[in-house]
């Protein structure tokens, strides 16, 4: 009788999703290994991010920077601009740090073990194990959100996350095969993404149906359990959008740490219960009367928008003027792009 990993690999050979960062099955069978650079890039982009959202960014990055040396040589601002909209911007900052360590100290080659990989910026337990397994054929235990859900159901584990994490890792370790560990890891994740989904799992077509304890007990839809999360407070702020008579926009590079760190944005107030006005330049500011609403991981934001036309030669206390040719709205994180979309009509005419 085939073991659980064997059943899943057989399913994977017929049902694997065709994803840009994967080596096609025929090529893989012929011994072609995936490029560690591309595995790493895809895994970092996929952290807490859906496949659908990642695809276009992955194609863009690999076109602009086909290898780790090219990425390491790219200017910080360009990389941050290309990451804009994908979220969790510390990933992009650590991506560059990691690329520069690999391209510099490591001669352009990624290390092939989990232990060495997790010492690099932005590579944690999951990503280190995933790169080692997928790119280097190491039998590492790869545990992401999909694996946690599948293991909780397979073994009918009712302990809420995150307390259940050690038990789920142990369950995953007991199943991970020595052969084809990379395919096995991707198979569990595909299973979680397409069959063992968070809501209404398709148990009838699951290759592990007969082995699943939660299905026997009828508890699969309630697993994994999670500790309740805190409600999000609402913060208020003011964003200032100014345009000079020559068409230049007044923009500001945010500090390199914290929320939206390193990203381009509009100058503004603090975000709090009672934000203090902080115009970046003396001008006849006009309130737009419409606010940008945006929800971050742990709070809601309502951003009032103030706009102003500035005379030619105006000088700002904060931020820098960018001519239209040097500014693409796609460089902005989403909340700042929302502000721009609302403010633009009022500033289309430069005088």
Partner DNA sequence: AACTCGGGGGC
Partner DNA sequence: GCCCCAGAGTT
Q: Shortest distance, CB of residue 156 to DNA, whole angstroms? A: 17
Residue number, 103 or 131, with CB nearest to DNA: 131
Q: Shortest distance, CB of residue 351 to DNA, whole angstroms? A: 32
Give the length of the chain: 351
* DSSP symbol at 300: E
11: left (phi over 0), alpha (psi -120 to 50) or beta: alpha
Instruction: Say which residue the tokens 């997790």 belong to.
Output: 118
Cβ atoms of 79 and 90 within 8 Å: the answer is no
Residue number, 88 or 285, with CB nearest to DNA: 88
Residue number, 48 or 113, with CB nearest to DNA: 48
Cα–Cα distance between 242 and 350 in angstroms, integer?
10
Cα–Cα distance between 193 and 191 in angstroms, integer?
5
* DSSP symbol at 326: G
- Secondary structure class of 301 (helix, strand, coil): strand
> Residue 332: CB partners within 8 Å, gap ≥ 6?
84, 263, 264, 265, 340
Q: Shortest distance, CB of residue 246 to DNA, whole angstroms? A: 29
Catalytic residues: 43
Phi, psi of 265, rounded to the nearest 5 degrees: -160, 180
- Secondary structure class of 239 (helix, strand, coil): strand
Taking CA atoms, 92 is separated from 78, 104, 153, 204, in Å, by 11, 18, 34, 40
Residue number, 7 or 140, with CB nearest to DNA: 140
| Mode of pairing for the β-strands spanning 300-310 and 292-295 | antiparallel
Residue number, 138 or 283, with CB nearest to DNA: 138
Q: Shortest distance, CB of residue 282 to DNA, whole angstroms? A: 30
How many CB atoms neighbour CB 156 within 10 A? 16
Cβ atoms of 95 and 122 within 8 Å: the answer is yes
Q: Shortest distance, CB of residue 128 to DNA, whole angstroms? A: 6
Q: Shortest distance, CB of residue 245 to DNA, whole angstroms? A: 30
Q: Shortest distance, CB of residue 167 to DNA, whole angstroms? A: 12
Question: Looking at the DSSP assignment, which residues form a beta bridge with residue 252?
Answer: 265
- Burial category of 351 from C-beta neighbours within 10 Å (exposed 0-12, middle 13-18, buried 19 and up): exposed
Residue number, 63 or 227, with CB nearest to DNA: 227
Question: Looking at the DSSP assignment, which residues form a beta bridge with residue 244?
Answer: 310
Residues that bind DNA (CB under 7 A): 19, 21-22, 42-43, 46-53, 84-90, 94, 118, 121-128, 130, 144-146, 148-149, 162-163, 186, 189-190, 192-193, 198-199, 226-227, 229-232, 258-261, 294-298, 333-335
**Residues 35, 40, 45, 48: is their CA dihedral positive or negative?**
positive
Residue number, 92 or 308, with CB nearest to DNA: 92
């Amino acid at each position: 009788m085939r073991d659980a990993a064997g059943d899943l690999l057989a399913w994977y050979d017929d049902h694997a999703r065709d994803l840009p960062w994967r080596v096609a099955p025929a090529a893989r069978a012929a011994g072609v290994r995936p490029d560690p650079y591309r595995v790493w890039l895809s895994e970092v982009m996929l952290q807490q991010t859906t496949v659908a959202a990642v695809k276009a960014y992955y194609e863009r990055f690999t076109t602009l920077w086909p290898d780790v040396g090219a990425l390491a040589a790219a200017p910080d601002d360009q990389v941050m601009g290309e990451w804009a909209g994908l979220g969790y911007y510390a990933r992009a900052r650590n991506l560059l740090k990691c690329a520069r360590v690999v391209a510099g100290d490591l001669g352009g080659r990624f290390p092939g073990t989990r232990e060495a990989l997790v010492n690099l910026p932005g590579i944690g337990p999951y990503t280190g194990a995933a790169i080692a397994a997928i790119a280097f054929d190491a039998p590492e235990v790869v545990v992401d959100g999909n694996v946690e859900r599948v293991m909780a159901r397979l073994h009918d584990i009712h302990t809420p996350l995150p307390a259940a994490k050690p038990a789920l890792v142990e369950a995953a370790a007991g199943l991970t095969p020595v052969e084809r560990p990379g395919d096995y890891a991707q198979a569990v994740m595909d299973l979680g993404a397409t069959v063992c989904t968070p809501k209404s799992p398709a148990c009838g077509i699951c290759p592990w149906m007969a082995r699943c304890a939660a299905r026997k007990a009828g508890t699969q839809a309630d697993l994994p359990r999670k500790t309740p999360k805190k409600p999000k407070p609402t913060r208020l702020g003011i964003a200032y959008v100014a345009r000079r008579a020559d068409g230049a926009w007044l923009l500001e590079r945010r500090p390199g740490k914290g929320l939206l760190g390193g990203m381009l944005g509009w100058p503004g107030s603090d975000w709090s219960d009672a934000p203090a006005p902080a115009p970046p330049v003396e001008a006849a500011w006009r309130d737009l009367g419409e606010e940008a609403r945006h929800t971050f991981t742990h709070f809601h934001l309502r951003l009032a928008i103030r706009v102003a036309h500035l005379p030619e030669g105006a000088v700002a206390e904060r931020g820098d003027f960018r001519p239209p040719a040097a500014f693409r709205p796609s460089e902005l994180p989403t909340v700042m792009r929302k502000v721009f979309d609302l403010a633009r009509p009022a500033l289309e005419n430069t005088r």
